[in-house]
């Protein structure tokens, strides 16, 4: 039985040291420290989660609710500190995608010619 | 600049040595070596990809096409060798999910209390 956890934990420690990870950490702290940015972000996130819960419960989302969601999203995405955080999220997401690409590559190869 | 690739490659090498990876590799070879299982699998996969292409192109999938897809899926999923491959795929998928869970855990923690 191979112990894969040693290698996962080592990668995770290095992942936390990347510029992309540290940049997101700083960007989130910048939002957290600014009351306006923090409220805009948490409002948008809470409205979004509430809509998702309704959808998962099979409840209908009204036109009014959808317009409100769009408005809170627009307001949040106009805040420079939130923009910085979203950009940092995308950059870190690219690192995670790269990790997944390399790990799953040998799986694709199994199916070659099938 | 951190070199994360060294750790990703080391994890990928260990990943390829897990029972779950080797089991899937064997299960795919078992399907490949059996003409009946191979045809049932590739038929289903090709019909599924064709439907996805149509959906992505915004084309309508007819009731007839949908029934055909369901039938090819059912036929494939009754074959013991394909069942073995699908089970091996799920087991390996659980390992990948575990890797992702550990890597992304410190990201969730950044947003705590926000
Ligand atoms: Ca401000
Ligand atoms: Ca057979």
Instruction: State pLDDT tens for residues A78-95.
Output: 999 999 999 999 999 999
As a whole number, the mean pLDDT across chain A is 95
Largest distance between two CA atoms of chain B: 56
Which of B18, B102, B110 is opposite residue A12, by nearest beta carbon? B102
Considering the domain A19-110 in this protein, what is its CATH number? Answer: 1.20.1500.10
State the Cα–Cα distance between residues B40 and B81, nearest whole angstrom: 10
Which residues of chain A neighbour B38 with C-beta distances below 8 Å? 114
Please state the rounded mean pLDDT for residues B43-47: 93
The CATH class given to the B5-110 domain equals mainly alpha
Q: Do A104 and B95 touch (CB under 8 A)?
A: no
Amino acid A68: pLDDT? 93
Amino acid A113: pLDDT? 83
Which residues of chain A neighbour B45 with C-beta distances below 8 Å? 114
- Among chain A residues, the shortest Cα distance to B39 is held by A114
Query: With bands split at pLDDT 50, 70 and 90, how would you rate the model's confidence at B43?
Result: very high
| Neighbour-count burial of A76, counting CB atoms closer than 10 A to its CB (0-12 exposed, 13-18 middle, 19+ buried) | buried
Here the ipTM equals 0.84
Amino acid B2: pLDDT? 76
Q: Which residue has the higher pLDDT, A112 or A26?
A: A26
pLDDT in tens, B9-39: 999 999 999 999 999 999 999 999 999 999 9
Amino acid B1: pLDDT? 60
Amino acid B113: pLDDT? 83
Which of B2, B19, B113 is opposite residue A17, by nearest beta carbon? B2
Amino acid A44: pLDDT? 93
Whether the pLDDT of residue A1 is over 70: the answer is no
pLDDT in tens, A46-65: 999 999 999 999 999 899 99
Q: Which of A32-36, A51-55, B45-49 is most confident?
A: A32-36
Residues counted in chain B: 114
Q: How far is the CA of A80 from the centre of ligand 2 (A)?
A: 61
Instruction: Give the start-to-end residue ranges of the domains of chain B.
Output: 5-110
């Amino acid at each position: 039985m191979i112990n894969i956890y040693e290698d996962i934990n080592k990668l995770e420690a290095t992942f936390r040291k990347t510029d992309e990870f540290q940049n997101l950490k700083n960007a989130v702290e910048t939002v957290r420290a600014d009351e306006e940015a923090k409220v805009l972000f948490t409002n948008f996130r809470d409205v979004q989660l509430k809509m998702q819960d309704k959808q998962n419960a099979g409840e209908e989302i009204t036109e009014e609710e959808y317009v409100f969601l769009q408005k809170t999203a627009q307001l949040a995405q106009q805040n420079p500190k939130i923009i910085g955080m979203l950009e940092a999220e995308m950059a870190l997401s690219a690192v995670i995608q790269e990790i997944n690409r390399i790990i799953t590559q040998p799986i694709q190869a199994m199916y070659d010619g099938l």
